[in-house]
Amino acid sequence: MNERRVVVSVDMEGICGVSSWVQVSPPEFGGLVSSAEYERARHQMTLEAAAAAQGALDAGATDVLVNDSHDTMRNLLPDLLPEGVRFTTGNDKPLSMVQGVQEGGVLGLLFVGYHARAGSVRGPLAHTWNGFLRDVRVNGVPTGEYGLNALLAGHYGVPVLFASGDDVAMAEITAELGEGVVTVAVKEGLSAFAAVHLHPQEATRRIYQGARRAVQDAAQAQPYTTRWPAHVALSFDHQARADAAERVPGVTRMDAVTVGWESENAYHLFQTFRMLAKVAEVRLNG
């Protein structure tokens, strides 16, 4: 029998019930105050990933890999995942949030707990990768983590089949990746730090149903791509970050806070983006 592999990339900011940085900050970073709220959020994160994984299995997937894609990438509670799935943890994975799409025979990629891009209006905890990237554009199109991850998956011939998260993120994903992606909004954004949420059990129910339908219809899906070579522009919150990023070979300064470069393919694009985000982690007080 042919393998039908599925990768589930699960983030936390788009999970039902989450609307504060306290809830998504592991205690070692957020302090003891965040511990109880973080534990509740990681529990729901795991249940939503489990719902997507079970939906994929019930739709005929023969192998499901759940990839922890938030912060330290050590958030999942594995005992809550369906038996038979594999899971990936650790924050130094070669393909980061979409680790596993390179394995071969992957039918599709499922996004769970995804959030809106930096600068979005009403997107709860909207950001792209970190707190200081203000804008990311690929061939002039503004994008977020969903777009960068979709392009990287597309490099390996893997389409995005499904996404869940806040309503702003779902609208952005539909606009960029197309209406073929099945989306489930588990909350409605009111502001950067407020949302109206579904009941958690209703959220997991809808995620299961959406993921199952998406995997059943996977044969019709196409990998996401763009025009190559692609021009990428990153805008930061401070000129000092652009100063640092500009020193990387192949990167040019576009304005006070923006740098750009060209990539021949999505792998180069993603790894360059990742490196520049790290290079730009500079002290701002001299």
Q: Which amino acids are annotated catalytic? A: 127
Residue 3 annotated as lining a ligand binding site: no
Question: What is the residue whose two structure tokens read 């001299």?
Answer: 286
The whole-angstrom separation of Cα 238 and Cα 255 is 11
Distances (CA, A) of 16 to 90, 111, 134, 197, 266: 23, 14, 25, 6, 31
Residue 238 annotated as lining a ligand binding site: no
Looking at residue 270, the DSSP 8-state letter turns out to be H
Give yes or no for a contact between 66 and 55, defined as CB atoms under 8 angstroms apart. no
What does the block give as tokens for 59?
A: 């739709």
Q: In sequence order, which residues have a C-beta less than 8 Å from that of residue 179 and are 6 or more positions away?
A: none
The whole-angstrom separation of Cα 257 and Cα 237 is 7
Give yes or no for a contact between 56 and 64, defined as CB atoms under 8 angstroms apart. yes
The whole-angstrom separation of Cα 228 and Cα 265 is 7
Q: Would you give the distance in Å from CA 149 to the centre of its chain?
A: 7
Cis preceding-peptide flag for 229 (omega within 30 of 0): yes
Residue 71 annotated as lining a ligand binding site: no
Residue 11 annotated as lining a ligand binding site: yes
Residue 197 annotated as lining a ligand binding site: no
Q: Enumerate the known binding-site residues.
A: 11, 13, 70, 115, 145
Q: Enumerate the known binding-site residues for Zn(2+).
A: 11, 13, 70, 115, 145
